[in-house]
Amino acid sequence: MTFKTIQEAFNHYRAVSVEQIEARAVEIKSIVEKDAAADVDSLNIELAGLSQAKANILEKRNDPGGAFNPITGMSFETSSSTGAVSGDVVASPEYRSAFYKTLLGQELTEVERAAYQRAADEHRADAFATTGNTAAVIPTQTLDEVVSKARKQGGIISICRPFSIPANVSVPVGTPSGAAEWHTEGANVDREKPNIANVSFSGHEILKVFSISAKVKRMSIAAFESYLTDELNACTMATIANSLVNGTGSDQGMGVLPGVTWNDGNSKIYTEEDGIKYTDITGLIALLTRGYAKGAAFAMSNATLYSQIYGILDGNQRPVFTPDPRNELIGRVLGFPVEVDDYIPDGDVLFGNFYYMAYNMPEGIAVERSTESGFTRGLIDYRALAIADTKPIITEAFVKLGRAS
């Protein structure tokens, strides 16, 4: 059955159970992922109706006297009068406190318990979230901190384009277009068809289990949040950073090195005996397709920068690499910024516009706590699960200088 409006889908599902709504949401997600000919627009309308019908049922559970309006998304009695959390529950202070108290095994207040339950209902194992009924999505503030910390540590993840869109949903990305032209008064102007690239991401799982002592229960929320942020950055975001460079695309994201078909038109080689020369650098810059130089950057490992690039001089005996004295950047090579990324093999130099290299995290990161496996050792296990993907959006935005094998 197809629906033309969200209201029509809402009316159809408003009388069914939450379990039936979730089952249909899972079914729709499977259809979108596996059926290339699926009517995505109609299914999105149905999903929106399912979401509103589910919210209506949950609203009645929390406030039997209130009525939910599917058009405005508001109940006639405001949530503030009942003490419930309104708006995006995952971004609320109540949910953040409940999330960490749950992981630490501490007691929740009534408001925290209600916020945690609402988040669990909205992010249960359906089309909206994770694979486990007991897994909890990390608070928005913590996720922002994890991503921000990863981008501040350098590497190409700091200059690649982040997305947060559902898997297998295609979105357009504009490419550099032609410049305007001088116009003769009264003359016709030909319309230029914009050059648009569409990108869609798959959903690959990133899983990490780490254990800490049962004494964690006595940690403060602030201390535990700081620890968890560092841990998630070290595992989940590091995996994404590696995938941006080396991902094979097989049960993982696609990286810029395997994802671009390298040939004489977009790559150069040098011999180990000769090393990288000034003309290799200028020749590499010249290879980049017109329009991508604005915003372009060099990327290489720390070893390559200081053993191969640092000592190169131009025709006037000036170094091609200029360190940044203000430490805003590593430095520049012939005016272009340099990103040090040790996931890039030593000897390789990438040059391109990394705005056209992307990673996607549609659901954030879910964390689950277990005391069973570490019972005899007095440990508590925490499992971090993220759905993510990486890929080059436009391959012509990158060129490479590599060492001859």
In the chain, where are the structural domains located?
1-84, 86-122, 131-173+197-405
Please state, for a pLDDT cut of 70, what percent of the chain lies above it: 85
Is the per-residue pLDDT at 173 higher than 50? yes
What b-and-e string marks burial along 260-279, b requiring 16 or more CB atoms within 10 Å of the CB?
A: bebeeebbbebeeeeebeee
Q: What is the pLDDT of residue 303?
A: 94
**Closest to 321 (Cα-Cα) out of 307, 330, 332:** 332
Is the per-residue pLDDT at 207 higher than 60? yes
Q: Choose between 174 and 28: higher pLDDT.
A: 28
Contact by Cβ (8 Å): 70, 7: yes
Mean pLDDT over 375-399 rounds to: 87
Percent helix, strand, coil in the chain (nearest 5)?
40, 20, 40
Is the per-residue pLDDT at 218 higher than 90? no
Mean pLDDT over 251-267 rounds to: 94
Distance from first CA to last CA of the chain, Å, rounded? 58
Q: Dihedral, CA atoms, 212, 217, 222, 227, nearest 10 degrees?
A: 0
CA 303 to chain centre: 28
Is the per-residue pLDDT at 77 higher than 60? no
Is the per-residue pLDDT at 80 higher than 70? no
**Structure token digits, residue 183:** 């116009």
Q: Choose between 324 and 124: higher pLDDT.
A: 324
Is the per-residue pLDDT at 84 higher than 70? no
For residue 162, what are the β-bridge partners?
A: 359
Q: Which residues contact 259 (CB under 8 A, 6 or more apart)?
A: 247, 249, 391, 392, 395
- In one-letter notation, the amino acid at residue 152 is K
Mean pLDDT of the chain: 81
CATH topology of domain 131-173+197-405: phage-related protein like fold (3.90.1690)
Contact by Cβ (8 Å): 168, 202: yes
Instruction: Output the pTM of the full model.
Output: 0.69
Q: Choose between 297 and 58: higher pLDDT.
A: 297
Q: Choose between 340 and 189: higher pLDDT.
A: 340
Q: Choose between 17 and 4: higher pLDDT.
A: 17
Ramachandran category for residue 213: left, alpha or beta (phi over 0 → left; psi -120 to 50 → alpha): beta
